[in-house]
């Protein structure tokens, strides 16, 4: 009995190594603090290879930071617990197995980089706003979604970037109990 092994082409292996190194650099240093040379050293490859694969630092950032919030179907969220469900979902994104990539990179980078700001707006428009619109029948669902995002990103900034005590030391359950009702209020308060 023979086995057929599928080999990953060297170019794809290199591309994935570049993306992994870039994600680490962007996560640790934000967009402005990450450098193509440091990313190349981490792989290790010549920095020109990064340009060959991605065209520019901006192209690398765009490829390295892909955000899928994996928000649940609004119909599957109990209306009376939607606020706590939203907060719990975002805490799991920030503290789960993929926490080192994606949202933290965008949050660290958005203040000084237009591409990161654009990505956050796109995630809001394509993922968060439609989910909130599916949860509430209010005419101002976009405004409600923006308020929810401001609450959650404020929490993320204080907890994960600034590590502001006591927010950074609270358990997930404590945060859900305190922030969940606020998000709930944004969904249905008139």
- List, for residues 40-94, the tens digit of each pLDDT value: 999 999 999 999 999 999 899 889 888 888 898 998 999 899 999 999 999 988 8
Is the domain of 97 the same as that of 165? yes
Domain assignment of residue 5, yes or no: no
Is residue 119 classed exposed, middle or buried when 0-12, 13-18 and 19+ CB atoms within 10 A define those classes? Answer: buried
Domain assignment of residue 17, yes or no: yes
How many CA atoms does the CB half-sphere of 71 hold within 13 Å?
20
Which range is least confidently modeled, 16-20, 50-54, 133-137, 173-177? 133-137
Average pLDDT of the residues in 169-190? 92
Identify which of 56, 59, 53, 47 has the alpha carbon closest to the alpha carbon of residue 10.
53
Is the domain of 22 the same as that of 83? no
pLDDT of residue 177: 98
How many domains are there within the chain?
A: 2
For residue 102, which phi and psi values (nearest 5 degrees)? 80, -110
Is the domain of 87 the same as that of 105? yes
Is the domain of 172 the same as that of 101? yes
The whole-angstrom distance between residue 3's C-alpha and the CA centroid of its chain comes to 39
CA geometry: angle 108, 23, 130, nearest 5 deg: 65
Is the domain of 47 the same as that of 80? no
CATH number for 19: 1.10.10.60
Domain assignment of residue 138, yes or no: yes
Q: Where a domain ends, among 64, 83, 105?
A: 64
Domain with 21 in it: 10-64
Is the domain of 92 the same as that of 183? yes
Is the domain of 83 the same as that of 119? yes
CATH number for 112: 1.10.357
- Quote the CA–CA distance of 181 and 184 in Å, as a whole number: 5
Is the domain of 85 the same as that of 42? no
Is the domain of 89 the same as that of 27? no
| Per-residue pLDDT band at 146 (split at 50, 70, 90) | very high
Is the domain of 43 the same as that of 21? yes
The four Cα atoms 50, 56, 57, 63 give a dihedral, to 10 degrees, of: -80
Domain assignment of residue 109, yes or no: yes
């Amino acid at each position: 009995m023979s086995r057929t092994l599928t080999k990953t082409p060297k170019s794809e292996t290199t591309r994935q190594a570049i993306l992994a190194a870039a994600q680490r650099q962007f996560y640790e240093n934000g967009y402005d603090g990450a450098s193509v040379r440091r990313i190349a050293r981490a792989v290790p490859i010549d920095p020109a290879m990064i340009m060959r694969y991605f065209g520019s630092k901006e192209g690398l950032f765009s490829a390295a930071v892909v955000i899928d919030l994996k928000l649940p179907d609004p119909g599957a969220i109990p209306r009376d617990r939607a606020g706590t469900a939203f907060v719990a979902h975002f805490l799991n994104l920030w503290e789960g197995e993929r926490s080192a990539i994606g949202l933290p990179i965008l949050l660290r980078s958005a203040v000084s980089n237009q591409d990161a700001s654009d990505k956050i707006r796109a995630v809001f428009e394509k993922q968060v706003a439609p989910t909130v619109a599916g949860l509430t029948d209010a005419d101002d669902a976009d405004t409600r979604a923006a308020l929810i995002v401001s609450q959650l990103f404020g929490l993320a900034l204080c907890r994960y970037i600034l590590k502001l005590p006591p927010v950074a030391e609270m358990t997930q359950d404590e945060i859900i109990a305190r922030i969940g009702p606020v998000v709930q209020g944004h969904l249905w308060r008139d």
